[in-house]
Amino acid sequence: MTVRIATWNINSVTARLPKLLEWLESAEPDVLCLQELKCSTEAFPHEAVKELGYDTAAHGTGRWNGVAILSRIGLEDVVRGLPEQPGYLADDALLADVEPRAIAATCGPARVWSVYVPNGREVDHAHYRYKLDWLESLRRAVVEDAAGARPFAVLGDFNIAPTDEDVYDVAAFAGLTHVTPPERASLGNLREAGLRDVVPRPLKYDHPYTYWDYRQLAFPKNRGMRIDLTYGNKAFADAVTDSYVDREARKGKGTSDHAPVVVDLDL
DNA sequence: ATGACTCTCATTGAGAGA
């Protein structure tokens, strides 16, 4: 069967609901992984997407983070959070917060994770150590499925540009997160576990960027980054027939600062 | 040297994003 799986950091599903519904109707993905819902599980617009034929598994707590999987080809064995997922201990907090950044489900022939990897903020910030620890817990969570025969993929906002080619100007990122060797080594560990980077094609220009800052006309100047990734196992990657970044969804007012990434497969 | 833009929860600002 042909299956279309997509991932999109939507930067508030509440603010973006009209754009989301419009995009579901035009792109017609079978499965959509969402990140940065910025709403609680209860507040997710389940009914609105159900009218378009999608079941939803959401995992959110409110203002920050939040992930979901929408599917019109089945939604089984939902898991919220990574096993052994580390929490983030903020300066003014007494307890570490295990944030809603990962959700898994089986959708028809494939099992997928929708992930929103911590930003890291700055290299000397506690959030950066948290990011690396979080990525190690992700590796442990997926190592079995990565080596398995069932089509499997981790999709989402990894907040890492895999190579220097994946940022508009590597000099502009000197000393910053998203491009450091330890972050890239975490992606290397996922590849070593058997996952492959399914690189999409750009619909315009030379690089398949997926994120452009809202400021300073970054999108029209194409000052972007490829940080929304699809890491699939052999069965998944071998079944890919096409993949592209839908930059059309980044155009105009009221859009997310990320574009959806679409993956077509013959499973 | 700094801010830029957008979102949420708040209350005319803070915090986070990357």
pLDDT one-digit tens code per residue, A25-68: 999 999 999 999 999 999 999 999 999 999 999 999 999 999 99
List residues with CB under 7 Å of strand B. A 9, 11-12, 14-15, 36, 38-39, 62-64, 90, 118-119, 121, 127, 157, 159, 177-178, 211, 213-216, 225, 227, 253-254, 257-258
Chain mean pLDDT for chain A: 97
Q: Which nucleotides of B are covered by protein (CB under 7 A)?
A: 4-9, 16-18
Percent of chain A past pLDDT 70, that is, above it, reads: 100
Q: How far is the CA of A111 from the C1' of B12 (A)?
A: 47
- Can you tell me which residue has its alpha carbon closest to the C1' of nucleotide B16? A64
Nearest to A56 by CA among A43, A70, A36: A70
Q: How confident is the model over A188-202, as a mean pLDDT?
A: 98
If you measure CA to C1', which residue is closest to nucleotide B18? A119
CA A97 to each of CA A12, A110, A146, A152, A253: distance values in angstroms, whole numbers, following the listed order: 20, 30, 28, 28, 33
A110 φ, ψ (degrees, to nearest 5): -120, 150
Determine the distance between A121 (CA) and B16 (C1') in angstroms.
9
- The whole-angstrom separation of Cα A194 and Cα A199 is 16
Separation between the CA of A215 and the C1’ of B3 (whole angstroms): 10
Give the closest nucleotide to A216 (alpha carbon vs C1').
B4
Asked if residue A227 has pLDDT above 90, the reply is: yes
Please say if the pLDDT value at position A79 is more than 80. Answer: yes
Distance A239 CA to B15 C1' (A): 42
pLDDT at A90: 86
- pLDDT for the residue numbered A201: 97
A80-121 pLDDT, tens digit each: 999 999 999 987 778 899 999 999 999 999 999 999 999 999
Parallel/antiparallel/unpaired status of strands A67-71 and A55-59: antiparallel
pLDDT for the residue numbered A254:
93
Q: What is the pLDDT of residue A93?
A: 79
From the CA of A49, how many Å to the C1' of B7?
22
pLDDT at A91: 78
For residue A198, pLDDT over 80 is answered with yes
For the cut 80, the answer to whether the pLDDT of residue A5 exceeds it is yes
Rounded to whole angstroms, the Cα distance separating A152 from A38 reads 26
pLDDT, residue A92, reads 74
pTM of the complete model:
0.97
